[in-house]
Amino acid sequence: MIAQLVIDGLLTGAVIALGAIGITLGLAILRFANFGYAELMTVGGYAALTAVLAYGGTGAPLGPFSFGGFLAVALAVGLVVTALVAVASDVVVFRPLRRRGAGPLVLIFASFGLALVLRHVVLLIFGTQPEYYSREIQMAVLLPGDVRVMPDQLLVLAITVLALVALWWLLNHTRMGLAMRAVAENTPLARACAIDPEMAIRWTWIVSGALGALAGTLFGLTVQLRPEMGANLLLPLFTAAVLGGVGSIPGAVIGGLLVGLAENLSVLVLPTSYKATVPFLIMLACFLLRPKGLFGK
Amino acid sequence: MKTRFMLAAASALGLMLAGNAAMAQGAAPSCPIKLGAIIPLTGPQGPIGKPIADTAQLAVEHVNAAGGVKGCPIEMVLRDDTGQPTLGVDAARYLVDVQKVPAIVGVVGSGIATAIVSAVTTSAKVPMVSCCAVTPTLTRLSEEGKTGGYFFRTIPTSRVFAVAHAVAATDRGYKNPVVIYVNNDFGSALLRDLEKAIGTLGGKIAGAIPYNENQPSYRTEVNQALALKGDALILIAFSQDGATLAREWISLGGTQNLVLHNTLRSQDFISAVGARFLTKAAGIDNAQVAGASVDAFNAGFKAKFNRDPVGPGLHTVYDSAVVTALAMQQAATLDGTAIRDALRQVQDPAGEVVVPGVEGIKKSLEAIKAGRKVRYVGATGPFTFDKNGDVTGPALVWKVEDGKLVTDKVIDLEQMTALFKRIGY
């Protein structure tokens, strides 16, 4: 039972980690808590669904997985659409506010408003019922120790690791990554070094939008797509970002995994119905005991 | 101490009032005789409440056309509860205190019926015959003596579901099924009844896992249920959550020996889960009664409204009004306690069988007047109030064949009554 809970926790944690990176990038570079971020996961998930619906399914299932090869194309569509939506939301909402010198609180409320708009646009188009990329039920693989995992979940774990490697390379080995890190560190100094902060901000939206779309699609693949999925994930995502330490990407990943593990292991001591409160308790404990997070500076 | 005194004073006052009313009405009732009705006419339940109210009015018209009760026509005093318990309690207070009705019929919402029973009718000793409240909470209140025997209903309780689940499971040889149930009053009450029913029919529940509604995933609950290692799964879930649960159960390697609740009896559920995983699945639901008495009601309804009586609560509200009218005729005086006792007398198993419609009601009113025993067989078929004022109803077991829902077995009223007795409800 415990082994099963640990595995489930890591698999849930992987998706939370991807989303938490987007949050932590926003906190570090955009310098406000973007409560609309989780909606980018919904947008990404549903954008990929639109592609799947337009194609008429994902194609014949690949091996043990529940979906066909077209899902890769759908994912690409989701990434592009979400990155565009993220940039557009900056251009339409956040950049005008930044130019007027709006404080972080104004930006937070604006992000709330944006979240509501995005969620209800999705709701309007797709309705309230849950959606799936593929209605195929795949059979779980029985691992030693009576642990059951779905092939899709293992793939999600692999994709998460790949995405993290790609992100690490992007931030550390490209000029764009250098610019983002520089702006996060010290914006005036970055500007003095001929780095355009607006450019770095735009790239932050693109990268975090793409990560959100990836997380949303993977969540939709292993759980289901619902218009309120992003809103429901908001608390775990912020907890992971805060726990890891604001601005720390390894922190966000470890925070995400810890939140996933804690949520799943909590059923050993708490009734299942209280599972959703676990992230909140972690966040509270983190604020009280170590406000800067595990890896915060 | 103070509240207890107040309560005592209030009930003493109530007794006096009731006594006075009984004395006043004892000799010759003043015409017309009032019958209280509380039905939602507006609000979210308005669309189903309106036809229910019309049907109750139809029942009163039938009784009046048949000669009325004790020579008097009945006047239905109808109040709208708008689907809210507070307004329902207000309406009941008005009917009991101002209109001084000797009985109340209708009452659609379970929560409203519970509130009225707890706050008004039991202490006022006014019988309430609900058409539509299915909650087992009222059965429990009755078992605990908190209804004083003044609560009746003409709709089967959810215990019928418990029996049907138990029959469907044990028929298929499942000895220790696991239950996943919705975590609310309905679900936990049904689980209690189910444990008892399965125990009697030769099985034992391996364990039960509650789930909260409207979650995107139930993997943890499913894993907990899998760890119980039952030989089948009884799934008491509402439609969308039921599909999520069944999908995760099957994909995590759970047995395909499923027993599904009536909310999952839909083509949507089959397509969400996949018919090929449901070949061994069974499910349960209420069954429709057929027979001459049902046809008599249907004909009367069609004559009045020029359409077939399709919709919730129509058959049951007709019966609740007619059986109350017959009980008024039977009761020596028009006070609540006499009517309460008479409600059972007009269902005498040895009595003359009487049916809905003007003719049938006329026959029964005359028979009662002449001192003969009657057995009212109504729009919902033959029904008998048990010691808690509940009735049973038939149920059916369905299965999935070639992706279609088919009826596998019907548990008719006699079998259901026998099972209730055997289980000891």
| Ranges of each domain in chain B | 31-155+313-382, 159-287+394-423
% of chain A with per-residue pLDDT over 70: 100
Residues from chain A that touch B274, judged by Cβ atoms under 8 A, are 135-137
Contact A140 B253 (CB under 8 A): yes
Residue A297 has pLDDT above 80, yes or no: no
**Do the chains contact at B240 and A137, CB–CB below 8 Å?**
no
Q: Is B273 on the interface with A (CB under 8 A)?
A: yes
**Same fold: B31-155+313-382 with B159-287+394-423:** yes
What is the nearest CA distance from B258 to chain A, expressed in angstroms?
Answer: 16
Is the CB of residue B252 less than 8 Å away from at least one CB of chain A?
yes
Instruction: Give the span between the Cα atoms of A233 and B190, in whole angstroms.
Output: 32
Measured CA to CA, the distance from residue A162 to residue A58 in angstroms comes to: 22
Partners of residue A136 in chain B, C-beta under 8 Å? 274
Query: How do strand B104-106 and strand B33-38 relate by DSSP bridges?
Result: parallel
Looking at residue A257, its pLDDT comes to 96
CB spacing of A137 vs B244 below 8 angstroms: no
Subunit contact A273:B250, Cβ cutoff 8 A: no
Q: What is the pLDDT of residue B239?
A: 74
B211 min Cα distance to partner chain A (Å):
7
Residues 6 or more apart from A158 whose CB is under 8 A from it? none
Instruction: Please enumerate residues of A whose Cβ is less than 8 A from a Cβ of B.
Output: 1, 4-5, 8, 129-130, 135-140, 142, 148, 150, 223-224, 226, 229, 232, 264, 267, 271-273, 275
User: Cβ of B275 under 8 Å from any chain A Cβ?
Assistant: no
Contacts of B223 in chain A (CB under 8 A): 1, 4-5, 8, 148
Q: Is pLDDT of A89 > 70?
A: yes
* Least confident window among A123-132, B51-60, B149-158, B174-183: A123-132
Task: Tell me whether residues B251 and A135 touch, CB distance under 8 A.
Answer: no
| pLDDT at residue number B22 | 41
Query: What's the token pair of residue B271?
Result: 């397509």
Q: Give the separation between CA B379 and CA B292, rounded to whole angstroms.
A: 9
Mean pLDDT rounded to a whole number for chain A = 92
Average pLDDT over every residue of A169-176? 94
Q: What residues of B are in contact with residue A142 (Cβ under 8 Å)? A: 253
Give A185's Cβ-side CA count (13 Å radius): 12
* B253–chain A Cβ distance below 8 A for any pair: yes
Do the chains contact at B210 and A5, CB–CB below 8 Å? no
Specify the pLDDT at position B14.
Answer: 46
Of A136, A232, A267, the CB nearest to B224: A267
Per-residue confidence (pLDDT) for residue A201, from 0 to 100: 93
What integer pLDDT is reported at residue A122 of this predicted model? 96
For B269, the closest chain A residue by CA position comes to A135
Inter-chain touch B274–A275, beta carbons under 8 Å: no
| A224/B244 CB distance under 8 A | yes
Least confident of A94-98, B1-5, B82-86, B295-299: B1-5
Determine contact: B221 vs chain A, CB below 8 A: yes
Query: The domain B159-287+394-423 is classified under which CATH number: 3.40.50.2300, 3.90.550.10, 3.40.50.2000, 3.30.1360.70?
Result: 3.40.50.2300
Question: Per-residue pLDDT tens for B315-350?
Answer: 999 999 999 999 999 999 999 999 999 999 999 999
Q: Give B252's contacts in chain A (Cβ within 8 Å).
A: 140, 148, 150
Closest CB to B253 among A135, A139, A232: A139
Nearest CA in chain B to A1: B227
A119 vs A138 pLDDT, higher one: A119
pLDDT > 70 fraction of chain B, expressed in percent and rounded: 93
Which of A128-132, A206-210, B2-6 holds the top average pLDDT?
A206-210
Question: Would the pLDDT of B19 be above 80?
Answer: no
8 A C-beta contact, residue A153 and residue A222:
yes
Cα A25 to Cα B235: distance, rounded to the nearest angstrom: 43
Q: Right CATH number for A2-289 from 1.10.3470, 1.10.8, 3.30.70, 1.10.287?
A: 1.10.3470
Mean pLDDT of B282-305: 92
- Interface-testing mutation among B251, B256, B268, with chain A (most A C-beta atoms within 10 A): B251
ipTM above 0.90, yes or no: no
Q: Are B335 and B102 in contact (CB under 8 A)?
A: yes
Instruction: Tell me the average pLDDT across B95-104.
Output: 96
Could you report the per-residue pLDDT of A230-284, keeping only the tens digit for each? 999 999 999 999 999 988 999 999 999 999 999 999 988 988 878 889 999 999 9
Q: For the domain B31-155+313-382, what is the CATH code?
A: 3.40.50.2300
For residue B4, what pLDDT band results from cuts at 50, 70 and 90?
Answer: low
Between B1 and A154, where is the model more confident?
A: A154
Q: How does strand B178-182 pair with strand A141-143? A: unpaired
Instruction: List, in order, residues 6 or more apart from A232 with CB less than 8 Å away.
Output: A226, B216
Nearest CA in chain A to B268: A129
- Surface-to-core class of residue A99, CB atoms within 10 Å of its CB (0-12 exposed, 13-18 middle, 19+ buried): exposed
CA angle B402, B407, B411 (to 5 degrees): 155
Nearest CA in chain B to A220: B216
Q: What is the pLDDT of residue A296?
A: 79
Look up residue A278 and give its amino acid.
Answer: V
The shortest C-alpha distance from A264 to chain B (Å) reads: 7
Residue-wise pLDDT tens digits, A35-64: 999 999 999 999 999 999 999 988 888 888
**pLDDT of B226 over the 50 cut:** yes
Instruction: Please tell me which residue of chain B has the smallest CA distance to A135.
Output: B272
Which residue in chain B has the smallest CA separation from A141? B252
**A–B CB contacts, 8 A cutoff, strictly below:** 58
Alpha carbon separation from A41 to A54, A132, A244, B20 (Å, rounded): 20, 15, 20, 70
Report chain B's terminal Cα–Cα distance, integer Å. 36
pLDDT at A86 (0 to 100): 97
pLDDT at res. A1: 75
Choose the closest CB to A273 out of B210, B217, B251.
Answer: B210
Q: Give residue A91's pLDDT band: very low, low, confident or very high (50, 70, 90).
A: very high
Q: Over 90: is that where the pLDDT of B89 sits?
A: yes
Residue of A4, A263, A264, A278 to mutate, interface with B, max B Cβ within 10 Å: A4
Confidence of residue B2 (pLDDT cuts 50, 70, 90): very low
Q: Do B220 and A275 touch (CB under 8 A)?
A: yes
Mean pLDDT, chain B, rounded, equals 90
Tokens of B20: 């006075």
CB-nearest to A1 from B216, B227, B251 is B227
Residue A128's pLDDT band, with cuts at 50, 70 and 90, is confident
Q: Do B251 and A150 touch (CB under 8 A)?
A: yes
Cα B121 → chain centroid: 18
Dump pLDDT digits (tens) for B44-80: 788 889 999 999 999 999 999 999 999 999 999 999 9
Q: Which of A129, A229, A273 sits opposite B183 (nearest CB)?
A: A273
Q: Reading across the β-sheet that carries B395-401, which strands appear in turn?
A: B207-211, B178-182, B233-236, B258-260, B282-286, B395-401, B404-411
Cβ of A267 within 8 Å of Cβ of B220? The answer is yes
Asked if B281 and B256 count as a contact pair (C-beta separation under 8 A), the reply is: yes
Taking 80 as the threshold, does the pLDDT of residue B16 lie above it? no
